[in-house]
Every structure is written in C-alpha cells, then in structure tokens.
Amino acid sequence: MYQMNTTLSADAVDFIDDVKLEAMVAGLKEDPEAVRRVIAKSLRKEALTVEETAILLGAESPELVEEIFEAARTVKRDVYGNRIVFFAPLYVGNYCTNNCKYCGFRSSLKSAVRHTLSDAELVREVEALEELGHKRLILVYGESPKYSPDFIAHTVRQTYATKKGNGEIRRVNINAAPLDEEGFRIVKEAGIGTYQIFQETYHKKTYAEWHPANTMKGNYMWRLNAFDRAFRAGIDDIGLGVLFGLYDWRFEVLAMVTHALYLQSKFGVGPHTLSFPRIKAAEGLDLNLKYQVSDNEYKRLVAILRLAVPYTGLIMTAREPAELRREVLAFGVSQIDAGTKLEIGGYQEDRQKGEQTLNREQFKVGDTRTLDEVIGEILEGGYIPSFCTSCYRLGRTGEHFMEYAIPGFIGKFCTPNAIMTLAEYLEDYASPETKAKGMALINAELEKLDGKLRTEVVKRLEQVRSGKRDLYF
Ligand code: SAM
Ligand code: SF4
C-alpha cells in the first residue's frame, strides 16, 4: 500500500504570523481617505499588500462599505467581463480518518453512512452530470488510505473517459487531502485541473481546537505546506480557501492574502482561485458559533478579496442561499456550482428527488435550484454562463495563465468561448425557456464583438447548431 512521506519540504516556512495578524485586526479603524487610496490602487488592477487589505477591512460605515462594493463590481466587470463559469462537485468517497468537528464525514460520527463510489457508480454519476450539461467537475474525497494518489488518479482518468451523448467532462479539478510530492506527481499525470484544498482556519489555536492533534489533519504545517509540495511536483494551478465561521473573518482574509502573496513570490504564480465557504449545518454540529459570519460581513469579505487579488478567480458554492448568491455574484465571483448534490451517489436519477439526508452528506447546501434554473436566472441578470475550459486545455495555466492579465484577452478569447459553450448548453440541455433567454443574450453579446471576430464566432455558432461540439479559441 502507498506510504506517504510526511516530511515537510526542507524550506517549509510558517509564513502566517498569528501575533502580527491579530494585532492588525485589533488595530483596525476606519480611515476613509486611506480606503479611497487603496480602492484607487485596486481599480488600477494592482494586487494589494496585506496592510492595504487591512485598511479596507477597517471600513465600517455603510457609505464607505458601499464604495468598496462599487469598486468590486467595477473590477469584476473590467477583469472578468460578465461571464460566470459553472462547475459541479462530485463526492467520490466519504471514508475519513480525520475528525474535523464541523464535518459530517468526521471519523467519530458513527451514524454517517460511508461509501466509496465503485467504478460503475462513478461512471453513472459523471453521466448524470453530463446529462445536465456540466463540463467541469471537482472530485471530492475524504482523507483515507483508500484514497491513495493512484486511486485519485484512476477516478480522474475515469471521469475524463466517461462520455454520454454529446456530454463530456473537459476539466477535472480535485479537492483531496494534502499529498506528498510523489502523490502530487501521480495526480498531476492524470491531468487534473486545479488542486484545491482549504486551510479551514489560518489561526493556529483555533485550528487545533477544531482538528484533533491525533489526526493527520491536526498537523497545521503539513496542510499549510501542501501547495509548496504541489508546485514542486509540477502542479501550477491551485485553489486555496478558508471555512468561514471558525475564527474572526478579518484575520482569515488577511491570512488568505498573505498565503496568496507568499506563493506568488516563491513560485512566481499565485492561486488560481480562492474559496470562502461559510460553515453550514452538519450532523451533530452546533451552529451557534462565536465567529459566524453575517450576510453583510460575507459580502464585505468577498468584495475585499476581489479588490485585494484582482486577477484571482473567486469561487462561491451552493452552500450559500440563492438570494445572497445573486447579490454577491456582482462583487467579483467568477465561478459557481449549481444543481449540487453532496450525497455520495446523489446525482443519479433515482436519488434526485429525495430530501437531503444529513447522514449521507457532509453538510447542507443553501441553494438547491437546478442548473437550468440557475442558468436561466443569471441570463436574466445579463451574465453569460460559461462552460469554457479552453485555457487549461491549451496549456494556459500557471505563469502562462495570463487569462485576465493580458489586455483584450477577455474580449478575444473568454467571451467568444463563453458564447460557444453556452450555445452548446442551449442546444443540448436547456429547457425551452432557458434556451430562449440564452439565444437572446448571445445575440446581444454578438453585437458587442468587433466585425472580424463576430463573423468568426457566428460561423462557429452555425457549426454548433449543426452538431459540432467543443470549438474554442
Ligand atoms: N477531506 C478533504 C479536506 O478536508 O481537505 C477534502 C474534502 S472536504 C469534504 C472539503 C471541504 O468541505 C473542507 O475543506 C471544509 O472546508 C468543507 N466543510 C466541511 N464541513 C463543512 C460544513 N459543515 N460546512 C461547510 N463546509 C464544510
Ligand atoms: Fe474528513 Fe475533510 Fe471532513 Fe475533515 S473536512 S472530516 S478531512 S472529509
């Protein structure tokens, strides 16, 4: 059986200075002039320092907070345009040796129904997701010797190989426990897109309270050092995150920015995405937490992250309720999931109609609408739902991942690709209402393209209509 080498990299450093960040949080105060200066820097699309991020966190008055929201909307529009990329999480197995006190998969929860998808079940799940129109998945695993790098690599390959009708998964990301360098090499070879892992909380004392020391996850540094090992193994596309509600959200925002800047300076590549889930109900979890993040604080943290790292994708998951998701989209979220099922095996048709049952799930989702419903709604909001996976497949990742940095990139590549993947979705999967809305949006977007590009996109849209798939720039 695979034996993980749990030695930290020789140059592993603890770059999170709890005392310094605590002092920054304690010293936060509103300084409107400084806030406006920092906003101006973000609007020039320059990444902020940790100190500048703290200045934004100090803003409390509704008027100043609104200025931050408005700036986030502007950065989102300028950097990302009006696309929203869709993905779906797929839970492969919930055996877990860890005992994270907030998680419905924790080892001490004996009532949890444990299961690992068999090959045949995985294929059925992937087919079910393809039949909804998904092109991009994130496979999720508990931490267990069952989920060795070879097992993970196998499930990734199997996901890519599964094709139903016009459906195919074009990008497979993973959210799996930290591996050693060799393990990361193995999963990289299987063609993973983003390697995602959340630190949960960067605050060491809190981390120790939620993650018992006698578990692998109890080792804070092993987790903090995970992306260093991933980079060394050749993975240059990573996603970091915090589980908000465990500790002071302002500390966590400063720590996330610290982590992003650390990776950028050490490896020349920052994170591709940041995730900021809030803790949700799970079996046996008392949600009456001291550090619960209110909706208003949540909006502030998303907007501030947007301004702090203008070129990093922001992922908001279905953990959040539909109404809040609508509002926060405008602040700079670039990826969302929809139609999410957290139950192992939950996408297969026979389980679709069932109520959420906590003993099979990790936690409750807040937005239970179908993919088609969410797409229909965001179309009404003027967004282009995108299933594009082009950059990753053309090798535009890591330091070559200039997607957002190159002037004109969005207009030349992202928007046309979003339009074409939306057209595929409308042809193959959308309800008649969503299709009508989508066609209207495509026509409006075509008007905005310059002549030559428009002609090219129209030509390819014709090809999509006549059955061709997977056309991209
Ligand atoms: N086992 C791996 C790990 O812990 O990193 C990966 C999978 S774990 C299922 C994915 C994420 O789910 C965790 O990183 C955690 O942030 C999140 N999670 C766990 N319990 C949660 C809860 N009650 N509410 C919201 N998110 C939760
Ligand atoms: Fe296991 Fe991950 Fe849940 Fe912790 S969060 S108990 S490691 S599945």
12-29 tens-digit pLDDT: 999 999 999 999 999 999
Smallest CA-to-CA distance from 73 within 250, 332, 317 is with 332
386 assigned to some structural domain: no
Domain that holds residue 185: 76-369
310 assigned to some structural domain: yes
Residue 59's pLDDT is 98
Residue 352's pLDDT is 46
Which position has the higher pLDDT, 432 or 324?
A: 432
26 assigned to some structural domain: no
Residue 365's pLDDT is 66
10 assigned to some structural domain: no
Q: pTM of the predicted model, to two decimals?
A: 0.94
Are residues 82 and 203 located together in one domain of the fold? Answer: yes
pLDDT-based confidence at residue 398 (cuts at 50, 70, 90)? low
Residues with Cβ within 8 Å of 447's Cβ and at least 6 positions away in sequence, in order, are none
Are residues 272 and 414 located together in one domain of the fold? Answer: no
Residue 399's pLDDT is 57
Are residues 404 and 342 located together in one domain of the fold? Answer: no
Residues lining ligand 1, CB < 6 A? 102-103, 105, 140, 142-143, 175-177, 197-198, 200, 243, 277, 279-280, 282, 285, 319, 362-363
Given a cut of 70, whether residue 260 has pLDDT beyond it is: yes
pLDDT digits (tens, 9 = 90+) for 287-337: 889 999 999 999 999 999 999 999 899 999 877 887 888 889 998 898 998
Are residues 352 and 441 located together in one domain of the fold? Answer: no
Using alpha carbons, list the distances in angstroms from residue 196 to 33, 143, 199, 212, 473: 37, 14, 10, 22, 26
Mean pLDDT over each residue of the chain, to the nearest integer: 91
In this structure, what is the dihedral angle of CA atoms 444, 446, 449, 453, given to the nearest 10 degrees?
180
Are residues 192 and 80 located together in one domain of the fold? Answer: yes
27 assigned to some structural domain: no
| Exposed/middle/buried for residue 87 (C-beta within 10 Å: 0-12, 13-18, 19+) | buried
Q: What span, in angstroms and rounded, lies between the C-alpha atoms of 365 and 317?
A: 9
Q: Closest Cα to atom 4, ligand 1: which residue? A: 177
298 CB under 6 A from ligand 2? no
Are residues 350 and 414 located together in one domain of the fold? Answer: no
Residue finishing a domain among 349, 369, 389:
369
11 assigned to some structural domain: no
- For the chain, the domain total comes to 2
**Cα three-residue angle 260-98-21, rounded to 5 degrees:** 30
Are residues 162 and 294 located together in one domain of the fold? Answer: yes
Given a cut of 70, whether residue 153 has pLDDT beyond it is: yes
Residue 361's pLDDT is 63
Are residues 86 and 226 located together in one domain of the fold? Answer: yes
> Per mean pLDDT, which range of 51-65, 266-280, 313-327, 437-451 is the poorest?
313-327
Q: Which of 109, 201, 217 to mutate to test the pocket of ligand 2 (most atoms within 8 A of CB)?
A: 217
Are residues 319 and 413 located together in one domain of the fold? Answer: no
Residue 351's pLDDT is 46
Given a cut of 90, whether residue 139 has pLDDT beyond it is: yes
Structure tokens at 295: 């909706």
Residue finishing a domain among 350, 369, 388:
369
Atom of ligand 2 nearest to the CA of 217: 7
35 assigned to some structural domain: no
Given a cut of 50, whether residue 402 has pLDDT beyond it is: no
Are residues 223 and 339 located together in one domain of the fold? Answer: yes
pLDDT digits (tens, 9 = 90+) for 208-247: 999 999 999 999 999 999 999 999 999 989 999 999 999 9
Find the CATH number of the domain harbouring 213.
3.20.20.70
> Per mean pLDDT, which range of 15-29, 139-153, 198-212, 440-454 is the poorest?
440-454
Are residues 282 and 363 located together in one domain of the fold? Answer: yes
Given a cut of 50, whether residue 356 has pLDDT beyond it is: no
| CB under 8 A, 24+ apart: contacts of 350-356 | none
Phi and psi at 384, nearest 5°, equal -100, 115
Are residues 196 and 144 located together in one domain of the fold? Answer: yes
Q: Closest Cα to atom 8, ligand 2: which residue? A: 142
Ligand 2 centroid from CA 220, angstroms: 14
Given a cut of 90, whether residue 346 has pLDDT beyond it is: no
Atom of ligand 1 nearest to the CA of 362: 20
Residue 458's pLDDT is 95
4 assigned to some structural domain: no
> Which of 378-387, 407-416, 421-430 is modeled with the greatest confidence?
421-430
pLDDT digits (tens, 9 = 90+) for 53-97: 999 999 999 999 999 999 999 999 888 888 899 999 999 999 999
